[in-house]
A and B are shown apart, each in its own frame.
Chain A
Amino acid sequence: SAVISQKPSRDICQRGTSLTIQCQVDSQVTMMFWYRQQPGQSLTLIATANQGSEATYESGFVIDKFPISRPNLTFSTLTVSNMSPEDSSIYLCSATSGGSYGYTFGSGTRLTVV
């Protein structure tokens, strides 16, 4: 299965600033996703990162707040813009080749906004 490198692993940011999270997969994958997880909670899908086109966002998430890029099949970035303390969470990158393959997750980025 694919191996995902995600960075940074954690950051403490000032409100009003932006943070870009990078996700690198070691092999070509069909689909890449970004999830958010509050400690002790389930994973909430933010968006599907589409290669070469605009990401597809879930209800409650918008491109201006969470711009996503996927310039090729193995790399994606998620930016958390104009941060507020409510954005404090763990952000996870995920990838799959579909079919009978499961999802592989990056190690996550623990974001604290102060």
Chain B
Amino acid sequence: QQPVQSPQAVILREGEDAVINCSSSKALYSVHWYRQKHGEAPVFLMILLKGGEQKGHEKISASFNEKKQQSSLYLTASQLSYSGTYFCGTPVEGNLIFGKGTKLSVKP
């Protein structure tokens, strides 16, 4: 039931773009995205509630395709502050279950 994230890790130079994917074998009704910096708590980025919906947070946006049971997080013109581990979370019987995470490193 744990959503599957890919890639596991990505290294970027400042200004480059990245895409993080999250998929589930079960029907999805919503997807959460969080970012966790080293030694800190996860921070909520956005929630997608409808199929095909897109949302944005700074230069970070996401899409959700409920038919394909997947969501993608798009990081545009990455900044050093985007470094961290990104988790998607999907509700399972009312509880949020997190993927294994994608570690993003942005280098100057």
Decide whether A and B assemble into one complex: yes
Residue numbers of A with Cβ under 8 A of B are 1, 31, 33, 41-43, 45, 48, 58, 92, 100-108
With A42-B87, A45-B96, A58-B95 known to touch, is A102 a contact of B46 (CB < 8 Å)? Answer: yes
Residues on A with beta carbons closer than 8 Å to the beta carbon of B41:
92, 105-108
Interface size class of B (residues with CB under 8 A): 20 to 34
Residues on A with beta carbons closer than 8 Å to the beta carbon of B97:
45
**Complex: A5 Cα to B32 Cα, angstroms:** 22
Contact of B32 among A31, A103, A106, A107 (CB under 8 A): A103
When the two chains form their complex, are residues B44 and A45 in contact, meaning their CB atoms are under 8 A apart?
Answer: no
When the two chains form their complex, are residues A107 and B44 in contact, meaning their CB atoms are under 8 A apart?
Answer: no
When the two chains form their complex, are residues B95 and A104 in contact, meaning their CB atoms are under 8 A apart?
Answer: no
- 26 pairs, CB–CB < 8 Å, chain A vs chain B: A1-B44, A31-B94, A33-B95, A41-B100, A41-B101, A42-B2, A42-B100, A42-B101, A45-B96, A48-B94, A48-B95, A92-B41, A92-B42, A101-B47, A102-B32, A102-B34, A102-B46, A102-B47, A103-B32, A103-B34, A103-B96, A104-B44, A105-B41, A106-B41, A107-B40, A107-B41
Whole-angstrom distance between the Cβ of B60 and the nearest chain A Cβ: 14
Whole-angstrom distance between the Cβ of B21 and the nearest chain A Cβ: 16
When the two chains form their complex, are residues A43 and B95 in contact, meaning their CB atoms are under 8 A apart?
Answer: no
Residues on B with beta carbons closer than 8 Å to the beta carbon of A102:
32, 34, 44-47
Known: A101-B47, A102-B32, A106-B41. 4 other contacts (CB 8 A): A42-B2, A42-B101, A103-B34, A103-B89
B98 within 8 A of A: yes
